[in-house]
Chains A and B, each alone.
Chain A
Amino acid sequence: MESAADVSSPPRDGQSFRRRLIGFIAIGEVGVLAAMALLIVFFWLLEPAFLSERNIRAILNVVSFVGIIAIGQTILLVAGEFDLSVGSVAGLSAVVAAKLMTAAALPVTVAILGGIGVGAAIGLLNGVIVVRLGIPAFIQTLGMLFIGQGLIQVVTGGYPVYPLPEAVSTIGSADLAFGLGWSFAFFIVAAILADFVLRRTVLGRNIYATGGNQEVARLVGINTSAYKIGAFIVVGALSAIAGMFVMADLGSGGTSIGSGWELTVIAGVVVGGVSLFGGAGTVAGGVVGILMLKVVQSGLVVIGVNSNWQQIAVGVIMVMAVGLDIVRRRYFIAGA
């Protein structure tokens, strides 16, 4: 009621500019991008080596692994659920694939598909249990985090799977452009595709509706269970893919692949404006959020800050980002 928005008076020039400005600021990614630009300049002024080719490449390489998972996590968060088991799933899928190509001597392609299959199957299991049995995602996926960690030890006996076939290292060490390999290429393509799906397709719109209000979505004929389970499967499969890219990068099926990623991924996408309550955020935002976290971490390393302080910085940034997002929504979007 009584607000500026429902008065359809013809906008004057000043008003229309103001409205456009507000519209611009209201786009979630812009704020994060601006903050990131400031941080980059800050680190560069303190230490020009921050923008060295080597450092940029290192940042982008790390972002590509976690970013692949962030894409899935963003979709799942928009659908109104989240997954804490992504790191475990990444690690488990990697060691399973590694075992399939070594101990079981299967062709590399088949082994990789097997690894992705493990990730997708865990996603399906998470989804079915959360949606059909009504166990909260927090509990189910936290449980799966521990189960996955245990299974990694069971599969490997606690030792990294090594050596892997030549083909795997070839994938890991490929240099497509600027020293970036297949993982970065996959990350970019998947991000663009997923962003398009959320923004422009019926599927995407239905995911927003599902996360916004599940009952409303059901009443307009959307199969919300299928969307949620589907989103869990996507997260599982993307986690598996990220895990295998790390494995290729390392040239071994290490038992610590993916360890601790779950919180980095959630912190990153939340920094990028993806709502923990569902229904809001974009893949572009989530990916930019992850990038920003990694810029900060790397910047602190480059300017020589003790590593303990890096963790503190990540925590502070996440809380600040969400705080700023709430302020932004209140003042610019709500218009009051």
Chain B
Amino acid sequence: MPAQEPLLSAIAIAKSFGGVQALRGVDFDVVPGEIHALLGQNGAGKSTLVKILNGVHPVGSYTGAIKLGGKPVSFASPADARSSGVGYVPQEIEVLEQLSVAENVFAGRTGLGDGMLVNQRRLEQRAGEIFADLGIGIDPGAYVASLTSAQRHLVMIARAIVMKPRVLMLDEPTASLSGTEVDALFAVLRRLKAQGVAMIYITHRLPEVLAICDRATVLRDGQVAVRIAREDFDAETFIFSMSGQRLQRLFPEHAAPVGAPTALEVRNLTVAGHSGAVHGAKDINLSVAAGEIVGLAGLLGSGRSEILHGIYGRVPAEGEIRVAGGPVAIGSPSDARAAGIALLTEDRKRDGLLFNLPVGANITIGNLAPLSRRGVVRGGLERSSILAAMRALNVKASSPLASVSHLSGGNQQKLLFARVLMRAPKVLLLDEPTKGVDAATRHEIYRLVVELAEKGVALLIVASELEELIGLCDRCLVVADGRIVDEFGRGEGGEDRVLRSVAAAQTERHAKASQVSA
């Protein structure tokens, strides 16, 4: 690490929320041209620290000092921080869907500083220059509504970069990206690094830290647990310092059942694509045995989620679906549920949680029939089954009446697991079950998946992290352009096999396309 003056430094930052100490005297700094990883489990204080550094928690709500370029600063708002050169890309995608990419990039400054009128052409031209500079291949004139979530994330990064920040904070920027998109993002970050931007990189994914970060600070219980320089980087060290204990094995052991009956069988499933960017699925044939864990590997937008949605009746699909040998007609999610199929959706905020209902009602929603008599919910019975479900899945909430928005990502995810498991499904479809959860919860979810398989549940999982999918699943199906292009069992292949199969499929398709046009 070059002994440079820190560009941004936080000194002895402490903050509490209603009696709970979130940060207890944290020192943190970042130097120009450095990518500094900020690690820690959910609740360790990472988000609080970042929110203080970018003005979301205004000056006065915490103790300690912030220095930017050696001078003390106090941010009263995010806008204040932004104009001082501190940019922030939040974890959640916050775009204006009805506007164009360029308008989103310059949101709030569409006048480009010369008057009240918006010059669409200049806006697109300027956005195009920024994209070219960063190597982003998105049409600045396109509507954001037509973009994939990865592309939307890049738009948000571009929006932060437009302000020419000296410090850029990225909160889990890869949460919705798949392999190649992560590479594209890293290329962008490396360019910014070469330009001398200081970056704070929050993530749960250790391989990314190893790949791109120069230094790492691990927070635990609101304090700095350890600071690690690049030459001492090691995944085990990170896990150890984040959890305070060494996790024994990343993936619990599980063997594919032998001679188990087929629980889910899908024949010629076809799902129409939508909004151009996203592929549908074509002629999908797959089967999952009771007690088997099957993974759908593939890039974002390859059609893996569409397969799950088609099986669950979330989107219109053609084809034949059999559950436990019997054909079922699935026209809607309620048909799928009646057949014993459950789906855990990818995006907790958009199609998972009900923010108007408390924790308990979020678990029982859709599962109230056995908890009611003649349509009236039996309060005592509901409460006891909620508490049982919360205990079983280790959902940490102050009470069943607590608000779901207060829960950490990991607890929200476990809550949604509690919801889908309440009906004891025979087939469980999981779409990115560990997205945005901390390492410890991730491990709990792995154990849960294996436990369910041992109880005879058939599991079909989509996950962007190939290491996770391969480690967890008995069998992996590789999806590319809406088709299954490869299949291999546990121990028969790794991440490289998936990537090679996808590449081969894409090359083949390309070759076919050029043959047709020739």
Contact = CB atoms under 8 A, between A and B. Distances in A.
**A pairs with B:** yes
Interface of A: 1-8, 15, 23, 200-203, 205-206, 208-209, 211-213, 215-223, 275, 278-280, 333-336
B398 to A, nearest CB: 5
B19 interface: yes
A1 B409 contact: yes
Contacts of A6: 43, 396-398, 402, 406-408, 411
- Please give me the 5 A-B residue pairs with the lowest Cβ-Cβ distance, nearest first: A220-B366, A279-B356, A5-B406, A221-B334, A212-B356
A209 B17 contact: no
B179 to A, nearest CB: 27
A223 B313 CA distance: 13
Given A200-B377, A206-B368, A334-B405, 11 more contacts: A5-B406, A6-B397, A201-B372, A202-B376, A205-B368, A215-B351, A216-B351, A216-B352, A220-B419, A333-B403, A336-B17
B19 A223 contact: no
A200 B376 contact: yes
Contact of A5 (B338, B397, B409): B397
Nearest to B350: A215
B377 A202 contact: yes
B18 interface: yes
Contact of A4 (B20, B45, B377): B20
Interface of B: 17-20, 22, 42-43, 45, 47-48, 312, 314, 332-334, 337-338, 343, 345, 350-357, 361, 364-369, 372, 375-377, 379, 396-398, 401-403, 405-409, 411, 419
B375 to A, nearest CB: 5
Most buried by B among A202, A208, A220, A333: A220
B48 A221 contact: no
B20 A3 contact: yes
Contacts of B43: 1-2, 6
10 contacts: A2-B22, A7-B20, A8-B396, A200-B379, A205-B361, A209-B354, A220-B333, A220-B365, A221-B334, A279-B357
B61 to A, nearest CB: 10
A205 B82 CA distance: 43
B354 A201 contact: no
B403 to A, nearest CB: 6
A7 B17 CA distance: 11
Given A200-B377, A202-B377, A219-B345, A5 B354 contact: no
A205 B22 CA distance: 35
B337 A221 contact: yes
Nearest to A336: B17
A3 B19 CA distance: 9
A221 B366 contact: yes
A218 B333 CA distance: 7
Given A211-B356, A212-B354, A335 B18 contact: yes
Contact of B403 (A5, A203, A220): A5
Given A1-B43, A219-B351, A202 B368 contact: yes
A244 to B, nearest CB: 29
Contacts of A209: 354, 357, 365-366
Nearest to B404: A5
B361 to A, nearest CB: 6
A204 to B, nearest CB: 8
A2 B357 contact: no
A136 B332 CA distance: 24
B57 to A, nearest CB: 10
A7 B398 contact: yes
A169 B294 CA distance: 72
B21 to A, nearest CB: 10
B47 A2 contact: yes
A333 B402 CA distance: 9
Contacts of B355: 212-213
Nearest to A2: B22
A23 to B, nearest CB: 8
Nearest to B419: A220
Contact of B375 (A4, A203, A218): A203
Contacts of A219: 312, 314, 333, 343, 345, 351
B398 A5 contact: yes
